[in-house]
Structure 1
C-alpha cells in the first residue's frame, strides 16, 4: 500500500469512527471517554469489562454498539445457578432420518458477534471459566470437538461495584483476558437533564445500522498497519516490567504495595489501543499521547495489590500514575 493510499484509508477510518461516536453519543449521554475506550477495544479485537453503578447505561451501550455496527448481539444474565452449557451449548439426543438416536450439538448464546455477560461476577467460578477459551482463542470445545466462533466475537461483561454479597470475584486469568476495564461514572447535572429529556418523551431515538461486516474487518485490519517506533515500544515494555515488585527498576510504591504486575497481554492492549487512537487522530504512527490515553483502562485490572496495599486503601490507578511518569516528557 502506497503512502497516499494509506493516508486515504486513515481519513476513511476517521470518518467511520466519528459516525459511530456521533450515533452512540445520542444514546449514551455524557460518557464520551467511555464510548472512546469501548470503540478502541472493539476495533483492536479485544474484550471489555464495564464497571459502574446501576442505571448508568452499561447494557444500553452494548445494545447500541451491536445495532449500529450491524453485528449479531446476545445477552446472558449471569446468576449463581447458570451452568457452562447455558453459555456454550450442549449435545442433545436427536433422531436421524432412519429414526436412530444420535447426539446433535445445539449452539449456545456464545455463538454471536457481541456477547453481553451481564453481572458476570454473580456466576460461579466454574461457569465463569466457560468463557476462558472463547475469549482467548475464539473457539469452544464441546465433547472433544472444537467449534469456531465469529471473527468479530467480543465479550462485554458488566459488574456492579457496590453489591459484593453473593458474588464471585473474577480470577486473575480471566481478568487478564479483558482488553480494557472501563469505569462508568455518574453524569453531571446537564447530562442528567439531557438523559431525562430524551428518555421521558414519546419518541425515543433508535440507532440505525451504519456498517457492513466487510467495513468492520477492513477497519480492524488497518489498525495492525499503524507503526510504532522502537523507542516507544521499548518504553512500554519497560513500563510493564516495572509493574512487578521484583523488577530492579520498579517504583518504591510498586515494591511496597503490588503483589502481581501486568502480563504481556497488558503490553499488547497498550500497543493495539494506541494504534486505534492514532488512526482516530489521523496519524499512521503511534505517539506518546496515544499510549498515555490507553494506559489506565489497559492496566487498572492487571495490577493486583497485596494485603498492605488493600488495607491502606491504595488502588491500581495510583500505581499507574506513578509508573507512567517514565513515558511523559
Structure 2
C-alpha cells in the first residue's frame, strides 16, 4: 500500500483488515485491567511504531498487570526488571561466565532478552545502569564482551518512574528522557472504576491466564500498514510548528518564552508523526488528521520540554506549558 497512489476506499479496507485484532485485544485487556483505556492505547501506539514508554504514577495502579497482560495476549516473552541502587549493567544485559569444564567463557543473557520489558522504578538505579537499558532501546542490540547480540523483535520497554522528589532516586537526564517516545502519567481510578476493581480483584482466587488472541506476525503486518498511512503536508507543517513553538513560542503567538529553558528536539517531530499515524490506525483510518497528532502531543512532548526556575516558582510544570501551547497554536 502506498499513500500516494492507493485508492482511498482500498486504503481504508487495508487498514480495517490489518487492524481487525485491535478491538478484540482492547476488550480482552479490559477484562483484567479496569479504567486504563488511555494507557492501553498508548501501549499499542508505541508497539506499532517501535517506541518505548516512560510511565509515572503512584504504586498500585496495575502498571505491571497492564504490560504482562498485553504480552500474554500477543504471545510475547515478558520480563520484569526491578531497578535498585546497587544494580550493575550486567544485571540487565548479561555477562560472560567462565566455564572451568570447557576452560572458556560463555555468555549468559540478561533479562533484557525478551519482547516486553517492564523496567520497574528505573530512576532507582544509577546513570550507568539506566544507560545500559537505554542503549538497548535505541540500538535494539547489546554487546557482551566482544560479541553483539540482536534483541528479540518486537522489543518494547515500559519504564516506570517514581516522583522525583522522593529520596534515593537518580533522575534521568534530558538526553535519556528523549529516548522515550512518550511519557504517560497515570492517575487514580474513578469511584466507579475502583468498585469494578474491587469486584474483580477482591478475592484470593487467581485470575485465569490471558490466552493469545493475536500473533507477533500480525503486529508486524500492522506496522507495515501504519508506515504507509497518508500524512498530508498541512499536518506535517502542524507537527513542525508544534515542536518549534516549544523553542520559540513568541513566533507562534504563545507567550511562554520566559517559562521554557529547553524546547523539544527533532526526535519529538519524528515521534509526533509516528504516533499520529498509529493513532489513526487504531481508529481505523488510512490518513492522519490534526486531531490524531494533538491527541498524542502531550504524551510525546511533556518530558522533552524543560521549564525555567521562574516557571517552577509560579507552580508551572512542563505539562501545563505544553497544554497551553497546544490550546493556543492554530489547528489546520
TM-score w.r.t. length of structure 1:
0.93
Q: What CA distance in whole angstroms lies between the structure 1 residues aligned with 2:161 and 2:223?
A: 27
1:134 pairs with 133, 136, 142, which one? 136
Q: Which runs of 5+ in 2 are unaligned?
A: none
CA contact (8 A) 2:75 2:215 kept: yes
Instruction: Encode CA deviations 1:158-201: one digit per residue, 9 max, x unaligned.
Output: 12227611011111121111111111111111111100010124
Three-state SS of the structure 1 residue aligned to 2:238 is: helix
Q: What CA distance in whole angstroms lies between the structure 2 residues aligned with 1:182 and 1:279?
A: 20
Instruction: Kindly report which structure 2 residues correspond to 1:16-95, keeping only aligned pairs within 5 A, or say none.
Output: 16-95=21-100
Number of positions where the alignment pairs a residue of Structure 1 with one of Structure 2: 325
TM-score w.r.t. length of structure 2:
0.92
Residue 225 of structure 1: aligned partner: 228
Q: What CA distance in whole angstroms lies between the structure 1 residues aligned with 2:250 and 2:46?
A: 29
Q: What CA distance in whole angstroms lies between the structure 2 residues aligned with 1:206 and 1:311?
A: 48
Deviation at 1:314, TM superposition (A): 0.6
Three-state SS of the structure 1 residue aligned to 2:143 is: strand
State the Cα RMSD in Å.
1.9
Q: What CA distance in whole angstroms lies between the structure 2 residues aligned with 1:281 and 1:249?
A: 30
Q: Is structure 2 residue 274 aligned with structure 1 residue 269?
A: no
Deviation at 1:204, TM superposition (A): 2.4
Q: What CA distance in whole angstroms lies between the structure 1 residues aligned with 2:207 and 2:154?
A: 29
Instruction: Encode CA deviations 1:194-228: one digit per residue, 9 max, x unaligned.
Output: 00010124362432111212111111111101010
Q: What CA distance in whole angstroms lies between the structure 2 residues aligned with 1:71 and 1:195?
A: 26
1:106 pairs with 108, 121, 124, which one? 108
1:10 pairs with 11, 15, 18, which one? 15
CA contact (8 A) 1:244 1:250 kept: no
Q: What CA distance in whole angstroms lies between the structure 2 residues aligned with 1:77 and 1:69?
A: 23
Q: What CA distance in whole angstroms lies between the structure 2 residues aligned with 1:293 and 1:21?
A: 18
Q: What CA distance in whole angstroms lies between the structure 2 residues aligned with 1:223 and 1:145?
A: 33
Q: What CA distance in whole angstroms lies between the structure 2 residues aligned with 1:26 and 1:290?
A: 27
Q: What CA distance in whole angstroms lies between the structure 2 residues aligned with 1:230 and 1:59?
A: 39
Three-state SS of the structure 2 residue aligned to 1:243 is: coil
Q: Which runs of 5+ in 1 are unaligned?
A: none
